[in-house]
Structure 1
Amino acid sequence: MYAISLGDDGAELRPLEPWRAEEFLAHIDRGREFIGAYVGLADAVEDLAASRAFLLRYAEKAAADAGRIYGIWADGKLVGGVLFRTMDVAQGTAEAGCWLEPSAAGRGLVTRAARVIIDWAVEERGIHRVEWLVSSANRPSIAVARRLGMTKEGVLRESFLYRGKRHDMEVWSVLAPEWRAAHINPRPLS
């Protein structure tokens, strides 16, 4: 098992694997309402079987080089995560995302963790374009995209039906040359 330090506060980024299903479910339960405001993860992980199945899907994506999922631990407790929901190495594209329970909000954990995985994707896997899709109402996630140096490309009006309501989705991205030019160099994942 390995962990990557996310800074002086002791926060760490670790692989989120199927054997952590019980811990993952407890984390989702602690933040279910907060996480579920904009992210379907809270609805997808309702019990231990669903938690295990969700993490197993990402283990299969990792084995196929089509996605990844990592947990963020603070004070020894799983408090959030970052992922590549999709990753197409041949095309050089990936879609990154995140979630966080309320107890960990406002500490910069998601931004620091996203920097690590984006740097890995660009430098180790040759990803050229990393996308960030976010509800226009999700201000904290939009702030992360900005801090990551992403460019807002547009709005997909009412494109996402979630919990009975249509959401405008913003498309943000960063290209590998832009990422490198920003001199963002977190610790590598490999």
Structure 2
Amino acid sequence: MFAVSLGDDKAELRPLEIWQAEEFLAHMDRARELVDPWIPFASFATDLDSARDLLRRYAEKQAADTGRLYGIWLEPAAQGRGLITRAAERLIDWAVYERGMHRVEWDASAANTRSIAVAKRLGMTRDGVIRQNYLYRGVRHDSEIWSVLAPEWRARTGR
């Protein structure tokens, strides 16, 4: 397994794997109130079996090259240190330089001002709002879509 340093104490970006289900669940329990309004899958990991199942589904997506799940254990104590921005920079670098992707999207709840601020810090462009895009806990939410194109990212990073 690999881990990418985020240059902040011991903060690392790493793939989340099935064998980490207990640690993943413990983190979700500590951070649930913070992340649940913005990351709905947090509500899918409520006990050890459901945590394993969630991680298993992402392992299957990774095997099929249709999705991946990485984590940095964001909890209230870690807020305001730029970890999300640095982690996203590493993932966009990977997407553009390693995978050759032309477009990287950031999909955030329109009410999640902190996530939108990250998209702005990453130099992304706001493509638009998808109104009442998803139903969560009985309420319809708007999504903002932000993106960066590979030529824009290369110009930003100078590579």
Please indicate the TM-score interval, normalised by the length of the shorter structure: over 0.9
Is the partner of 1:182 in helix, strand or coil? helix
Which one-letter code corresponds to 1:58 in the other structure? Y
Aligned partner (choices 81, 84, 103) of residue 107 of structure 1: 81
Give the match for residue 48 of structure 2. Answer: 48
TM-score, length of structure 1 as denominator length: 0.79
Letter of the structure 2 residue corresponding to residue 21 of structure 1: A
> How does 1:1-190 map onto structure 2 within 5 Å?
1-72=1-72, 79=73, 100-183=74-157
Farther-moved stretch of structure 1 (8-17 vs 164-173) = 8-17
**How large is the RMSD of aligned CA atoms in angstroms?**
1.4
Runs of 4 or more above 4 Å deviation = none
Report the count of equivalent residues. 159
Matching residue's letter, 2:145: V
CA deviation map 1:39-82 (0-9, x unaligned): 2122111111111111111111111111111121xxxxxx2xxx
Which residue type is aligned with residue 4 of structure 2? I
Larger relative strand fraction: 1
What is the letter of the counterpart of residue 107 of structure 1?
Answer: R
- Give yes or no for contact 1:115–1:184 (8 Å, CA) kept in 2: no
Q: Which consecutive unaligned segments of at least 5 residues does structure 2 have?
A: none
Superposed displacement of residue 106, structure 1: 0.9
